[in-house]
């Protein structure tokens, strides 16, 4: 990588760091900074208690203050910019609300009708066999097997357990992933390992010349999610990958799945059904959960709604988009920690990452041909090598939008909606 280009990137980091430092200084001088830090500490604690007690009224004033304070911080950082655009930029450099509007409008027009068609034929997929009691010890063996299939370097990446799965890294030479095991839902840990494994491969494969520098980490949240969700969904939930791992799964958990075929296993893993909880959502409905959160947090920043309105608006949108009634705030507006932690503008990166992955698949197959015969044989080397050479090695050397366009051309959400439409139309015989 050219030295001049690297220096320009470092200067950009310095500019962003100075803007944050300047904003923090102004907030401190005005008395806002200390108040914001205290709010972040208190809000998270109150959110936990409110969720346990299913009492949104406890959290409401803290949530309103969090949005108000985050908006003020954005104006300190970039006074001439719309606050929500600044918030989005903090997680995905260059992302704007207008771009998000166009993206989510496309998802809404194509995926909501598709989801309703799937609901009408929900009886075509029976996933009851996946809800049996699967020994945790055997699930751990499956996790180890999956890491080997993915080609994860076990000398530089280890797997642990936690309440909520995550990935962390200290450098490209020390990456940690975690999962959580549920005895009555082995698929949850199966796909959390693959998901976190996708994050790990990104960090493990960053360019050696960028290691231990400010540029040596993934380009953005959306770019990171593009990798994790690519492996989890596009690869991991494909017919070929399900067929590959099912003999191991069937043997490990015998006799629980003895009467299940490869095709039935694939259909069970990909069953789509509207749900209340984002983290439990299937591949088709997941982005609708994100779209709801995007609309609500943008409305909060615009001032068209207040925290007091959030439960009602949350429930209304869940009914409109997913067709489900929200029985409680614990299962509704209180389910995520992001807003309590001040991570406003974070949610869109999840959906954008999923869409990035679908377009990467299209470009990948244009360049290296049909990947699925190799996937069916357990050889992911061509997939991983392509992602490493086109995405992983650049880390933060390029801005996320710049990096994506250099590989895939102009972003177009149709690749994602086409992918989901084709997959679920075939799966449900629509």
Query: For the whole model, what pTM was predicted?
Result: 0.89
The Cα–Cα gap between 355 and 291 comes to 13
- Could you tell me the pLDDT band of residue 20, with boundaries at 50, 70 and 90? low
156 φ, ψ to 5°?
-125, 10
Give per-residue pLDDT as tens, 310-367: 999 999 999 999 999 999 999 999 999 999 999 999 999 999 999 999 999 999 999 9
pLDDT of residue 282: 95
pLDDT(37) > 50? yes
What whole-number distance in Å separates Cα of residue 160 and Cα of residue 372? 30
Of 63, 104, 81, 106, nearest in space to 23 by CA:
81
Each residue's pLDDT tens digit, 400-425: 999 999 999 999 999 999 999 999 99
Distance CA 215, CA 226 (A): 19
Q: Phi first, then psi: what are they for 31, rounded to 5°?
A: 85, 0
H-helix segments, 270-413: 286-302, 310-317, 348-368, 372-376, 381-390, 400-408
Of 103, 337, 127, 134, the closest CA to residue 242 belongs to 127
Please answer whether residues 430 and 241 qualify as being in contact, where contact means their C-beta atoms are separated by less than 8 angstroms.
Answer: no
Structure tokens at 316: 């209304």
pLDDT one-digit tens code per residue, 138-166:
999 999 999 999 999 999 999 999 877 88
78 is catalytic: no
Of 241, 225, 266, nearest to 383 (Cα)? Answer: 241
In a 3-state reduction of DSSP, which class is residue 159? strand
Distances from the Cα of 253 to the Cα of 245, 247, 400, angstroms: 12, 10, 42
Q: How far apart are CA 391 and CA 407, in angstroms?
A: 8
For residue 255, cis peptide bond before it (omega within 30 degrees of 0):
yes
DSSP 8-state secondary structure symbol assigned to residue 303: T
CA distances from 214 to 108, 171, 396, 397 (A): 37, 11, 8, 9
**Stretch 10-14: mean pLDDT, rounded?**
56
Q: What is the mean pLDDT of the chain?
A: 91
pLDDT band at 16 (very low <50, low <70, confident <90, very high): low
Residue 123 CB partners (closer than 8 Å, separation 6+): none
Kindly indicate the confidence band of residue 41, based on its pLDDT and cuts at 50, 70 and 90. Answer: confident
Q: Which of 60, 196, 203, 225 is catalytic?
A: 196
Quick one: how many helices (H) and strands (E) in the chain?
17, 3
Instruction: Report CA Rg, the chain.
Output: 22
Q: Residue 256: is its pLDDT beyond 80?
A: yes
> Which DSSP helix (H) or strand (E) runs through 58?
helix 56-77
**Is the pLDDT score of 25 beyond 60?**
no
Long-range contacts at 87-91 (CB < 8 A, ≥ 24 apart) = 87/301, 87/344, 87/345, 88/345, 88/348, 89/345, 90/345, 91/220, 91/221, 91/222, 91/343, 91/345, 91/346, 91/348, 91/349
Q: Of 231, 234, 223, give the one whose Cα is nearest residue 150.
A: 231
Q: Where are the domains of the chain?
A: 3-115+280-348, 124-270+365-389
Select the highest-mean-pLDDT range: 117-126, 207-216, 227-236.
227-236
């Amino acid at each position: 990588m050219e030295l001049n280009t690297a220096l320009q990137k470092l200067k950009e980091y310095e500019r962003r760091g100075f803007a944050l430092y300047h904003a923090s200084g102004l907030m401190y001088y005005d008395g806002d900074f200390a108040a914001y830090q205290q709010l972040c500490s208190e809000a998270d604690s109150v959110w936990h208690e409110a969720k346990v007690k299913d009492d949104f009224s406890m959290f409401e004033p803290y949530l309103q203050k969090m949005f108000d304070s985050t908006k003020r911080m954005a104006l300190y950082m970039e006074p001439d910019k719309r606050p929500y655009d600044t918030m989005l930029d903090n997680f995905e450099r260059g992302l704007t609300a207008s771009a998000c509007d166009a993206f989510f409008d496309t998802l809404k027009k194509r995926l909501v009708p598709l989801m309703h068609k799937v609901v009408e034929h929900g009886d075509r997929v029976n996933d009851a066999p996946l809800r049996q009691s699967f020994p945790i010890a055997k699930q751990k063996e499956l996790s180890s097997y999956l890491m080997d299939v993915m080609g994860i370097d076990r000398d530089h990446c280890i797997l642990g357990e936690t309440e909520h799965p995550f990935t962390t890294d200290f450098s490209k030479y020390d990456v940690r992933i975690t999962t959580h095991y549920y005895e009555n839902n082995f698929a949850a840990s199966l796909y959390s390992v693959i998901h976190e494994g996708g994050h790990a491969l990104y960090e493990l494969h960053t360019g050696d010349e960028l290691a231990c520098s400010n540029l040596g980490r993934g380009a953005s949240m959306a770019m990171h999610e593009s990798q994790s969700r690519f492996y989890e969904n596009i690869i991991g939930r494909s017919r070929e990958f399900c067929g590959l791992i099912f003999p191991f799964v069937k043997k490990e958990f015998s006799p629980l799945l003895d009467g299940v075929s490869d095709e039935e296993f694939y259909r069970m893993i990909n069953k789509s059904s509207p749900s209340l909880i984002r983290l439990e959502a299937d591949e088709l409905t997941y982005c609708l959960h994100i779209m709801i959160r995007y609309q609500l947090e943008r409305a909060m920043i615009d001032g068209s709604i207040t925290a007091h309105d959030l439960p009602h608006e949350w429930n209304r949108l869940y009914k409109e988009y997913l067709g489900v009634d929200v029985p409680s705030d614990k299962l509704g507006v209180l389910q995520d920690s992001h807003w309590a932690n001040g991570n406003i503008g974070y949610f869109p990166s999840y959906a954008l990452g999923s869409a990035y992955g679908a377009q990467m698949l299209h470009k990948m197959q244009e360049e290296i041909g049909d990947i699925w015969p190799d996937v069916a044989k357990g050889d992911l080397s061509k997939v991983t090598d392509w992602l490493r050479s086109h995405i992983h090695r650049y880390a933060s050397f390029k801005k996320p939008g710049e990096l994506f366009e250099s590989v895939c051309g102009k972003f177009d959400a149709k690749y994602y909606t086409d992918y989901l439409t084709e997959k679920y139309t075939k799966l449900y015989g629509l």
